[in-house]
Amino acid sequence: MKSRRKTIPKFKSEAEEQEFWATHDSTEYVDWNTAGKALFPDLKPTMKTISLRLPEPMLNNLKILANERDVPYQSLLKMFLKERLDKELQKI
């Protein structure tokens, strides 16, 4: 005998949906045993623009390193930040 699943409500916003799933068990709404894999090849992470003040010599050095690697300095900065964040998060 199959158990009946609850109906997933309609959400007014992504924030409302996030709040719902943070407080509800998805197994009451979805049969994960029959779920398939979803592929999102063109999905890109949400980006947020920030303003960051750096000492001019630091920015110049970053640009020199980026030029040596043939990448934009903003991309190199993101790579450096990601490497450090990954390292720090391993300590937690």
- Tell me the pLDDT tens digit for each residue of 27-83: 999 999 998 888 888 888 888 899 999 999 999 999 999 999 999 999 999 999 999
Q: How many CA atoms lie within 13 A of 30 on its CB side?
A: 11
Name the helix (H) or strand (E) containing 76.
Answer: helix 73-91
**What was the pLDDT predicted at 1?**
45
Structure tokens of 40? 């999102």
> Domains in the chain, start-ordered, CATH in brackets?
50-92 (1.10.1220)
Tell me the residue length of the chain: 92
Separation CA 60–CA 53 (nearest Å):
13
**What was the pLDDT predicted at 39?**
85
From the CA atom positions of the chain, what is the Rg in Å? 22
